[in-house]
Amino acid sequence: MDQNENKALLQGLLDFGEAMLCAGAEIGRVEDSLSRLCAAYGAEKADVFVITSSIVLTVQFQNGETLTGTRRIRKSGDLDFEKIAGLNALARESASSPVSIPRLKEKIRSIDGGCPRPLLLYAGSALASGAFALFFGGSPWDGLFSALFGLLICFFQRSLSKKSPNKAFFLFITSLICGCVICLLGKALPFLHVDMIIMGDIMLLVPGIAITTAARDMVIGDTISGATRLLECLVWAGMLAGGFMLSLLILGR
């Protein structure tokens, strides 16, 4: 392989890592897949270092050339399992029979370009928040209203979160607005249980999955990623709790 091809390969691999990390794959999986891909494309040695916010990849090629690339990851993407599965399959496939580099890039782009249908996201939000209101002991009415607020939260996530400076701010505003509206509704319709509706909707916003995976990353040795993620999540959980608490304070429990 000549120099230009080596460079193209490095960029392709960084694209791959970025796509995988942004789809919410575990740190270990990203590092593993990248090392395997490097070996498949004939690298003598590959050093991969991935943390939640950055990828560093140094590849030593057989012609003696060594290339290093860094990719800064800014967005903490939402979990997208179809992407993770697709990229994972691509990594396995390429590890046994490597495709040409332009083809690899093309495949990465086609997997990464897809986005979930909005209808499914709305349905998922409503279903999850409604179900958890019942789960925590709410009445069917609580479940129904929780599902309605689930739709509202999904709408916020799709519109407001892009305009927010950061996720902490977004969570605070969203939980404040939802908390206030839920409290007012609770006063207008006394048969509703405000706490059950809030609990159902908290499940959509709380970074519960992220906290547990962060804690797991720390236990299995990806300490830096785990620790930064964990702190990030604690801040988010605090802002979320702050927003709801403020709404409860303003309007009374």
List residues near another protein by CB under 8 A.
Answer: 25-26, 29, 78-85, 88, 116, 120-121, 123-132, 134-137, 195, 198-199, 202-203, 206, 208-209, 211-213, 215-216, 218-220, 237, 241, 244-245, 248-249, 253
What secondary structure does DSSP assign to 120-175, as a single string? HHHHHHHHHHHHHHHHTT--HHHHHHHHHHHHHHHHHHHHHHHHSSSHHHHHHHHH
* CB 67 to another protein: min, Å: 28
Give dist(CA 218, CA 233) in Å, integer.
14
* CB 130 to another protein: min, Å: 7
**Residue 102 vs 114, nearer CB to another protein:** 114
**Nearest to residue 74, comparing CAs of 54, 45, 95?**
54
**Residue 66 vs 249, nearer CB to another protein:** 249
Q: Is 45 helix (H, G, I), strand (E, B) or coil?
A: strand
**Long-range residue pairs from 121-128, CB within 8 A, at least 24 positions apart, any chain:** 121/154, 121/158, 122/151, 122/154, 122/155, 124/154, 125/150, 125/151, 125/153, 125/154, 125/157, 125/204, 126/150, 126/151, 126/154, 128/203, 128/204
* CB 147 to another protein: min, Å: 9
Beta-strand relationship, 54-61 and 66-72: antiparallel
**Residue 31 vs 61, nearer CB to another protein:** 31
* CB 184 to another protein: min, Å: 17
The H or E element spanning position 250 is: helix 223-251
**Residue 189 vs 220, nearer CB to another protein:** 220
**Residue 56 vs 180, nearer CB to another protein:** 180
* CB 229 to another protein: min, Å: 12
Eight-class DSSP state of 192? S
**Residue 187 vs 216, nearer CB to another protein:** 216
* CB 222 to another protein: min, Å: 11
